[in-house]
Amino acid sequence: MSGHDLDVLVIGGGGSGGFTAATTALKSGARVGMVEAGRLGGLCILAGCMPSKTLLHGAALFKEMGVPGARAYPRLLALKRAVVEHLAGGRQRAVAEKEAQGLTLYRGQAVLVDPHTVQVEGRRLSAGSIIIATGSREVWPPLPGIEGAGCLVAEEFMDLPELPGSLVVLGGGAIACELAQYAARMGVATTLVQRGERLLSQETPRVGQVIQEALEADGARVFTSTELVAVEAGPEGKTVRFKQDGAAQSAQAQAVLLALGRRPNIQGLGLEAAGVAVENGAPKVDRFMRTSVGHIYAAGDVTGQALVVNLAVLQGQIAGYNATHPEPRAIDDRVLPRAVFTDPQVARVGLSAAQARQAGVEFLEVEMDLAGLGVARTYPQELRGFLALRAERMSGRILGAELVAPEASLMIHDLAVAMKLGGTAQDLAEVPYIHPCLAEITNYAAERLAHMLRRG
């Protein structure tokens, strides 16, 4: 490595995966550089997790207080911007601290010239190892009229100076559902158009149905199983034309939000010059976060895997470690909880029933409704949700779960810990859960599952 300018160079280090990779590599005493073309902070801080959660929490509070969304919006927008500035400032300070410890920050667009060389704004840098962490970008579908219709992506929508009176959301994933519910609760006439058969199509069908019911209860219109035809801009607003079950449909609104997913941000990166193989639009990586070129790694959204921060951080740790150590570590993402922050929230961990079957694992599963809990009666509103819990038939070890509940993102962690420690349904059944609380659903479901396992 001594013949290179740096031991490790991280491309796109301002986000969670890249910054973690850089700081992990720095701990080994390596000469580490980090290239960032944009603002430090990454998607989560600047335009994803944190601003959207601020808006979601605010919308729920103002709705409960009976404050009209248009009146509350200036305060909420100011809060959202303050949150982003605070957290981005924190990332900037963290980078400055690492610079004092030896990290070198390069500003500009990075392009791979060969397997060991990166060009940054006319300057060439060579590195023994390279870590790609350039994140993801919005998907723009090849839809007639979409380019000139003035559609918004999430970052733009969340920073509008004024709320639109009406909104069409294109998409049915986590971002689409979260922002559609936020808009509806702020009093925006909201229509969501999903191409797939159900919302949150990567989850089980019942999850999508519960979330659709929740959105509709908040006043949103939801169309599923659609085929997008065109987007048109006119003097009275924008019109989205689509088909549903072969019948022509349309939705008109002041604004259209594109939330059709994100793809790895590799355009113009020069992967081909470095010999890095691309599969399904992402650098192909193994369990050591290595690409097809042994000394080039990738971490975070650019890998095309789950777009969640906890996975990006885990991948960054593995990439940063393996780039600086001869004996590599494999990533263990078996226990990776994730959530969608609608109301109710959606959370899951481990193997789904379909994944367990595909893996040839014999298991038993129990499903329990949230409404069956005694504590559900103590809430003034109807509680929507359920827990699906599954365990391996022979060992009783917890394999995975889906949870839909008001605080599912918190409640899923006891299942994640149980899985991490190899816990069984009987182990969970023996935990003396607090009564009355929503988390008891895990305890009760585990009791049923343990009983089923004993009976064989």
Structural domain spans, the chain: 6-137+263-322, 154-260, 338-455
Q: What is the CATH number of domain 154-260?
A: 3.50.50.60
pLDDT computed for residue 456 by the predictor: 72
Taking the CB of residue 412, how many other CB atoms lie within 10 A of it?
26
CA-wise closest residue to 349 among 227, 442, 282, 426:
442
Contact predicate 337/353, CB 8 Å: no
- Cα 162 to Cα 74, 157, 159: the distances in Å are 8, 10, 9
User: Would you say the CATH fold of 338-455 matches that of 6-137+263-322?
Assistant: no
Report helix angle 69-100 to 49-65, nearest 10: 150
What pLDDT sits at residue 401? 98
DSSP 280: T
The alpha-helical segments, DSSP class H, found in 49-168 are 49-65, 69-100, 154-157
Predicted pLDDT of residue 2: 60
Please list, in sequence order, all residues whose beta carbon lies within 8 angstroms of the beta carbon of residue 303, skipping any fewer than 6 positions away: 264, 282, 283, 285, 289, 315
Strands (E), 92-148: 104-107, 110-114, 117-120, 123-132, 136-138
pLDDT tens, 56-91?
Answer: 999 999 999 999 999 999 999 999 999 999 999 999
Residue 296's DSSP bridge partners are 130
Instruction: Write out pLDDT tens, residues 239-262.
Output: 999 999 999 999 999 999 999 999
Model pLDDT for residues 187-215, shown as the tens digit of each residue: 999 999 999 999 999 999 999 999 999 99
pLDDT (tens digit per residue) in 393-448: 999 999 999 999 999 999 999 999 999 999 999 999 999 999 999 999 999 999 99
Average pLDDT, the chain: 96
Distances 344 to 56, 136, 182, 214, 215 between C-alpha atoms, Å: 12, 27, 13, 7, 10
pTM of this prediction?
A: 0.95
Q: Which residue has the higher pLDDT, 297 or 234?
A: 297
Average pLDDT over residues 80-106: 97
Confidence of residue 1 (pLDDT cuts 50, 70, 90): very low
Tokens read off for 409: 């993102």
In one letter, which amino acid is 161? Answer: P
Q: Which CATH number among 3.90.580.10, 3.30.390.30, 3.40.50.2000, 3.40.50.880 corresponds to the domain 338-455?
A: 3.30.390.30
Q: What share of the chain is helix, strand, coil (3-state, %, to 5)?
A: 35, 25, 35
DSSP 101: T
Domain 6-137+263-322 -> CATH class: alpha beta
Residue owning tokens 């605010």: 58
Other residues' Cβ atoms within 10 Å of the Cβ of residue 374 = 9
Q: What is the pLDDT of residues 120-163, one digit of tens each?
A: 998 999 999 999 999 999 999 999 999 999 999 999 999 999 99
